[in-house]
Chains A and B, each alone.
Chain A
Amino acid sequence: MSATQPMIEASNLDKFYGKFQALKNINFSVAHGERVVICGPSGSGKSTLIRCFNGLEIHNAGKLVVDGIEVYEGSREIRTLRQEVGMVFQQFNLFPHLTVLENLTIGPIRVRKKSKQEAEANARTYLERVHIPEQADKYPSQLSGGQQQRVAIARSLCMETRIMLFDEPTSALDPEMINEVLEVMVDLAESGGMTMVCVTHEMGFARKVADKMVFMDEGEIIETAPPERFFTAPETVRCQEFLQQILVH
């Protein structure tokens, strides 16, 4: 696949839940290695959009191509796609019956068919990278929220995907734990090479790492801009209002 082709390309996406339209005519693309931050008020469809990118939600109309694979209902390639697209959830979604190390290795062993030794060695380096190598043998419930989210990030890293999706990774955390997770994410972003799409309200983080800011409201993309322009001179009124509200504190 050529590097000029976008990593994620969505054209005219619509998504309905019953009669409610969650996504309206979304046109959106992410280049290789690009870091995109999506923000917007709650209910604006940002989570729905990011969940479409790895087929957890299937769009009802339009075309979505991720990493050269088209996403559609019943596609047999969705599993192949998911092996290339990591996802970090708001609620961590760790497996409570497995230890941290088992959480990290189950994907590589069962899906990637790696050997146990290789997967474990790999998992330990990624635990190192998220600064919790000493927690490998604990269960998720024994960790703090921030630690759990870092394990979840490491779990996605262990799959060595080329795209990482973050769905409000810090929204469920206590305030004092947000920074430890953001640090890890900044570190990831700055190490380069990985395409990142992040739904977050952490504007400091967005300013630091984003190549492109996307503002969504009521299922539509209202504004797309580089961060300097987005934060200093947003074009639309809705975006200005939103930024005022969350930057006021």
Chain B
Amino acid sequence: MNSPAANYVPPKPPALSRFFSSTPVSVLIYLVVIGAIIMSAYNGAQAMGYNWQWYRVPKYFYTLTDDGFQWGEIAIGLVKTIEISTLAFLLAIALGLVIALLRLSGLVVGGALSVVFLEIVRNTPLLVLLYLFYYVLGPIFDLDRYVASILCLGVYHGAMVSEIFRAGINAVPTCQWEGAKSIGMSTSQVYRYIILPQSIRFMLPPLTGEAVNMIKSSAIVSVIAVAELTTIGRNIISDTYMSFEVWFTIAAVYLVVTLILSIGVSFVERRYAVT
């Protein structure tokens, strides 16, 4: 092409903004900031004469002795955390769907029930809710600490999940209802075949956020001594006094788990992208 337009070079942004938005410079700035934070933490710890013993941490993940391979306490605690979070999340999904459908049902009793449930759960601190489940409902219904924690987390996040479901369902235009009703579908068929499949893509991103929150808030059950990751961390510290190393490690483990979850879901989201 010899036309003048083919050789046209569009104007560039100013040199300074090009410099700061270029990849190597951005990475450098990022590393400097992170480095500064780590350095100041390290210097602070040095100043108080902290005795770093990182070499003692790995054995809490796993040990390889003459007896063979063995998972360490942190690994076992992590499995427990994932187990509690998964079960509680399944409960939250089921509960959330029921509450959302009750609220959308148009039934006066259903709507009132779900609003009362939502307001009570959302206006109670999670810690208080946990005490209620363990110290009040626990003795009444004979719940052990493990079941009480799962129920508590499931109920608390069920309230959040129900709002996500409600928003997702409402995001599907009403004309979809009319189209489906006009071919004779029942309400449950409309939900199952038309509305829910379309609202999944509205629900997935906030549900991921809720799953991440679930894993993080599962740490609170350490106050009733359920042997999950945070409880394990406290136990190790009371044995070894390595509070810096252990809390850094525990935080990193939570970070890794939630990151894996987020990345996994972003793959699923691509599948449900708008066609």
Report which A residues bind B (CB closer than 8 A).
Answer: 54, 56, 79-80, 82-83, 85-87, 89, 91, 93-97, 106-107, 110-111, 139, 141, 155-156, 159
Contact = CB atoms under 8 A, between A and B. Distances in A.
B184 A97 contact: no
B175 A93 contact: yes
B183 A89 contact: no
Interface string B185-218: 1100100011001100000000000000000000
A139 B274 CA distance: 11
Given A56-B178, A82-B183, 10 more contacts: A56-B182, A80-B184, A85-B182, A87-B178, A89-B175, A95-B194, A96-B274, A106-B193, A107-B183, A107-B184
Nearest to A93: B179
B185 A94 contact: no
Contact of B182 (A82, A106, A141): A82
Chain B contact patch, size range: 10 to 19
Interface centre among A85, A111, A139, A159 (most CB of B within 10 A): A111
Given A89-B175, A106-B193, A95 B275 contact: no
Interface of B: 175-176, 178-186, 189, 193-194, 197-198, 274-275
A95 B178 CA distance: 11
B78 to A, nearest CB: 37
B185 A111 contact: yes
Contacts of A94: 179
Nearest to A82: B184
A229 to B, nearest CB: 33
Given A96-B198, A96-B275, A97-B275, A110 B193 contact: yes
B161 to A, nearest CB: 22
Contacts of A155: 183
A97 B198 contact: yes
Contact of A93 (B176, B184, B274, B275): B176
23 contacts: A82-B181, A82-B183, A82-B184, A83-B183, A83-B184, A87-B178, A87-B182, A89-B175, A89-B178, A89-B182, A91-B175, A93-B178, A93-B179, A95-B176, A95-B198, A96-B198, A97-B197, A97-B275, A107-B183, A111-B185, A111-B189, A155-B183, A156-B183
B115 to A, nearest CB: 24
A139 B275 contact: yes
B178 to A, nearest CB: 6
Contact of A95 (B179, B181, B184, B274): B179
A132 B197 CA distance: 26
A95 B182 CA distance: 13
B274 to A, nearest CB: 8
Nearest to B185: A111
Contacts of B176: 93, 95
A156 B181 CA distance: 12
Contacts of B183: 82-83, 86, 106-107, 111, 155-156, 159
Nearest to A104: B183
Nearest to A142: B275
Nearest to A95: B194
B185 A107 contact: yes
A159 B184 CA distance: 9
Contacts of B186: 79
Nearest to A138: B275
Ranked nearest first, the 5 interchain pairs of A and B with the lowest CB-CB distance are: A93-B179, A107-B183, A83-B184, A87-B182, A82-B184
A89 B193 CA distance: 20
Interface centre among B176, B182, B184, B197 (most CB of A within 10 A): B182
B181 A89 contact: no
A142 B176 CA distance: 18
Nearest to B186: A79
Given A91-B175, A93-B175, A93-B176, A86 B185 contact: no
A75 B148 CA distance: 44
A233 B275 CA distance: 51
Interface centre among A80, A91, A95, A97 (most CB of B within 10 A): A97
Nearest to B182: A87
A83 B186 CA distance: 11
A95 B180 contact: yes
A133 B180 CA distance: 23
Nearest to B175: A93
A86 B189 contact: no
A87 B181 CA distance: 10
Nearest to A91: B175
A9 to B, nearest CB: 20
A43 B99 CA distance: 38
